[in-house]
């Protein structure tokens, strides 16, 4: 029986990976800070710990042949030190724990934001260099961690990094709640100007990509020591997708519009004001988010298709249908 460790197994992507591994007959251990009785009930072993605790991490990796390092501090706001501790120091500890226990494969969850330089990314592939200037601590620290992971590839420990873009779907605790809250509060604005396109990733497709990466990964494999973009493979107009998502969750909106220059100015002003006043919570708009919303982000998935056998088996339309069904079910259960 294969045994895998999923860091961040209680998170959105981590849970989906755990579910798919269990369905395949794996013995799965989850490593995260919280307590998740439902993971235990599903058949996983739950190990509580922090990525910064190296000794605990080493113990959690005992007897494991594959580590899926999914855990990270995500977000677009907050002190650099916190992101560095979780995303860089934490990744270093995962690597040390893998080496100490003879783990054979390490699948790392990265992000396309590691190459985002503020410009349109239209059909780019993995030859695109890392950004040299970052608008948030998350992509900066993820870029450092990804490079560590790829540099660690060796005959003893095969490594790979996946870059799923904008993971979405039922159970999303990140993008959807924020989108819904801002739409309800009248804080959401549609940005005018040239149509931009994005390629997001439905949650089950993102998880399946990790399983495929694990299956393909071994010392000397074409994918070893490489990073791969992961997405639906069907770019959509940014604001059409946002509108479709809001409709799926029962929040159709006619959004007021603002020009791109005003969105960027508002993001900068909000950040500066929050810093000046010492406000810790995330501003309604940041430089990074404003830049993301006014540029295109879609990717050439040829490498993932060729080396991993990846295709998005769940289309965007089907994903939206499942999202609507899940939200309708939740609404029914709450009444």
Active site residues: 138
Both tokens of residue 174?
Answer: 């990140």
What DSSP string describes 201-235?
Answer: EEHHHHHHHHHHHHHH-STT-TTTTEEEEE--S--
**Backbone phi, psi, residue 12, to 5°:** -60, -60
Paired with 332 in beta bridges are none
Q: Is the Cβ–Cβ distance between 291 and 135 less than 8 Å?
A: yes
Instruction: Give Cα 244 to chain centroid, integer Å.
Output: 21
* Spatial separation of the C-alpha atoms in residues 136 and 319, rounded to whole Å: 29
Largest CA distance in the chain: 56
Q: Is the Cβ–Cβ distance between 182 and 190 less than 8 Å?
A: no
Q: Is the Cβ–Cβ distance between 61 and 5 less than 8 Å?
A: yes
* Spatial separation of the C-alpha atoms in residues 91 and 111, rounded to whole Å: 14
DSSP β-ladder status, 236-237 and 197-198: antiparallel
Say whether 308 sits in a helix, a strand or coil: helix
Paired with 30 in beta bridges are 6, 46
Q: Is the Cβ–Cβ distance between 80 and 136 less than 8 Å?
A: no
* Spatial separation of the C-alpha atoms in residues 231 and 112, rounded to whole Å: 10
Instruction: Give Cα 49 to chain centroid, integer Å.
Output: 21
The Cα-based distances of 201 to 79, 168, 316, 320 in angstroms read 28, 6, 8, 12
* Spatial separation of the C-alpha atoms in residues 233 and 298, rounded to whole Å: 8
Closest among 250, 231, 243 to 191, alpha carbons compared: 243
Q: Is the Cβ–Cβ distance between 66 and 40 less than 8 Å?
A: no
């Amino acid at each position: 029986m294969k045994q895998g460790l999923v860091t961040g197994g209680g998170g959105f992507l981590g849970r989906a990976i755990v579910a798919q591994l269990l369905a395949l007959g794996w013995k799965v251990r989850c490593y995260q800070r919280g307590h998740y009785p439902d993971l235990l009930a599903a058949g996983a072993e739950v190990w509580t710990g922090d990525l910064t605790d190296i000794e605990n991490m080493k113990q959690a990796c005992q007897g494991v042949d594959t580590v899926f390092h999914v855990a990270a501090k995500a977000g677009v706001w907050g002190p650099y030190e916190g992101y560095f501790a979780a995303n860089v120091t934490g990744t270093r500890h995962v690597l040390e724990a893998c080496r100490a226990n003879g783990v054979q494969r390490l699948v790392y969850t990265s992000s396309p934001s590691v190459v985002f330089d503020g410009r349109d990314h239209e059909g780019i592939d993995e030859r695109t260099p890392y950004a040299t200037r970052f608008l948030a601590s998350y992509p900066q620290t993820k870029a450092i961690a990804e490079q560590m992971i790829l540099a660690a590839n060796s005959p003893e420990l095969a490594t790979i990094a996946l870059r799923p873009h904008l993971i979405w779907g039922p159970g999303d605790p990140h993008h959807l709640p924020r989108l819904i809250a801002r739409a309800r509060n009248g804080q959401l604005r549609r940005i005018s100007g040239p149509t931009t396109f994005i390629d997001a990733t439905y949650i089950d497709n993102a998880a399946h990509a990790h399983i495929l990466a694990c299956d393909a990964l071994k010392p000397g494999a074409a994918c070893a020591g490489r990073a791969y973009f992961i997405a639906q493979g069907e770019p959509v107009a940014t604001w059409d997708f946002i509108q479709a998502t809001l409709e799926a969750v029962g929040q159709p909106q006619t959004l007021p519009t603002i020009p791109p220059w005003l969105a960027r100015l508002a993001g900068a002003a909000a950040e500066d004001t929050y810093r000046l006043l010492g406000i810790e919570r995330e501003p309604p708009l940041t430089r990074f988010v404003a830049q993301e919303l006014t540029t295109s982000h879609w990717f050439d998935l040829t490498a993932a298709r060729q080396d991993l056998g990846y295709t998005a088996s769940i289309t965007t339309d089907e994903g939206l249908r499942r999202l609507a069904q899940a939200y309708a079910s939740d609404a029914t259960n709450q009444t």
